[in-house]
Structure 1
Amino acid sequence: MYQLNLAELSVAEFLNQYWQKKPLLIKGGFKHFVDPLTADELAGLATEEEIESRIVSCVDKQWDMQTGPFEDFSEFGDKGWTLLVQAVDHWHPLAAKLLDPFRFIPNWRIDDLMVSFSTPGGGVGPHLDQYDVFIIQGEGKRHWRVGMPDSNLQQLCPHPRLLQVSPFVDCIDVITEPGDILYIPPGCPHDGISVENSLNYSVGFRAPAQKDLLTGLADHLIDNDISGQRFSDAKRSAATSVGRIDETDLNQIQQLLQQLVADRNQLPHWFGNLITRAKHELDLNEPDPHYGEDEIAEYIDEGSVLSRTGGLRCCYYQQHNDSDLLLFINGDQITLPPDELLTAQLLCDNTELAAAENRHFISSAQRLLLLTNLINQGYWYFSE
């Protein structure tokens, strides 16, 4: 539905020249852009308890931030504020289509689609993020300034829940129009101020920190009751100071930890589970009553189309062609036989499965059972 236009750049050239290196204005990145939702629809999402939303405003140079759900927007006036709604792709199937053109980056790196509505003068102030983002201009216009990473920038906190940066030198200064796209790498300061009522769509990417990875590994070890090797010191010499931690002991502790992290037998299991867990609530609609396998087969025979629930994270891993396939869906692992690569690819590489693709799942009882279970969990649903 949305086709990314990189002008004279190929995807490979974009990745080589810009990805995580420098910002880029993609003028007319989406030709003849049509907003997938309206400002009123976005406001409607912000009234829901389970959807994360916030409003950032600045009046007389005084910054404020309030978190949703919101019942009334009239108190904010007609200028100087921005409504931001996280994970809109979880709740709005048409908006979720905006993620598809950016899937030249692996699924596990894609975070969510944040959508913002700003009144004239609205923005969140100059700031930087620790992840890549594509910002798509929808309805209206916005004045953007983007700079390169600068270690001299200072963090500012004009409000207890707002983190901004000191003034920066820009390398991009532009007023974006519908269909324009800004690519901003991690650490690049940027500031967007709405010229008129406007919508923006931010496609964010995950960049797990070492802390998050180690926490995920610790959770995996606890959940699976894996203790690993214990410290041992059969060649210990008598201590000259019993209160001292010496370098030999620290080296051995470090080696124990490194061996744990370096275990490639465990790595795909805990990482796959960690990286496919939803960060925001999913709009799961579990069918009631559950479908039987014969009903699923009948729908597929009739040519029905399957859609994946917005925000559902799916990845797979196969070390060798003759090794089992590990399929990860929403933090759970499903082990498939080595020859089921196409099954894993269909489920992970597509957000919609056409009638011809669905027939793959009725060609074996095991595939049909797998698909039935996924549909009954609300992960996939018949859209036609």
Structure 2
Amino acid sequence: MKKSCLLLVLVFFTSFFSHSQSISTSPYSLYGLGSLYEANFGLIPSLGTAGVALSSENFINNKNAASLVDIPENNFFFEVGGKGIQTSFENSQRVENRNNFQFSHFAFAFPITKKSAVSVAMMPYSSSSFKISGLKIPIIDSSNEYYYLDVLGTGGLNNLDFSYAYKVSNKLSFGLTGSVLFGNTTDNRTYEINNSVTTIDKKVSYSGIRPILSTQFKADPSLTFGLNVKSPSRVNASKIQSVTVTNTSGTYDLEDEVKSNTDDFYLPLEIGVGFNKSFKNKLNITFDYEKDFWDATNQSDLYGTFSNQEKFGLGFSYQKKKVSRNYFDRIKYATGFNYDTGYLEVDNKKIEDKSFSVGLSLPLDQLSSSLFISYSYGQKGQITNSLVQENYHKLTLNLNLDGIWFVRKKLD
């Protein structure tokens, strides 16, 4: 029965990913590296994305590498996740609906000694997917002339994490993560003025490494504090560009796949803190606060500026019994809230993101294999002359498989 259940779940995920599309279709992915993507493992999406102080006892907690030391000895965790998102984009003139299926992540983790553990995780970091058609823009220093702009953007960055955790004592543990960022974005633009059309095709490739330091402190069995520090880092960039002009005289190539350097992108210092409090081993309250210091990067975008970002996450979870013959006693229920001030500022307005989430954890065996199901509803941005409001419904499915490894067979 257990093998049949796991097989059905794996078949579902295989089908899910085989039909996956771009991970973001937000118009706000026009900025910077695109829409920054936050992959959340296990039940974290149900908890308002709060998890800096959570344990990795039952799933891989990617919010804090120090938690990996809680993986039971000789256990091997493998996790894969995906999302389905229905979004409506609304401005002062019209409403547009889009459906999107996303790959979220895959990861594995296991202890290497009684005091240490490692993990490897692959996930998107950002997505650039947008389309602008027939945008009418006035020509500077001309009151009567306009040009028309079409823009199509695709691509994004990937994130490959290597993490190591070490337990200093029963109360204190540390984690170190090397985050490898790589990928590219394409930006195809067409400018039309009078009888002349200029086409610019640009592909920018990015690469960089970012160290992350984390720690957890268990004040007592029911209270844990966590800290996560992502260092400021530079993402190296280079571009290949082609420029073509078409007018009444014909078509001319001004540039043909010309390679050159472009401005590197700078990631800010990010500091996240959190706590997790349990009551009678049934009810848990989890809270996170994070601040990202974008002001210190001294960079801006053509269409807006980067400013300091704050994130708040609050989650509640309930499980009647961790160990029970009654299946329903072992189901964990969760709900949470999240507020993100955003790091983009357009026309002196921040692109805020607010969401509410619910979910549950369905055990698949007597170990830690579980299917985590989360639903979120949120709003991003606001309706103004220059901004769009996104209203989204998000369904997240994370599958964690737990196996006993590295144990010698015993003969009867």
TM-score range, shorter chain: under 0.3
TM-score (norm 1): 0.23
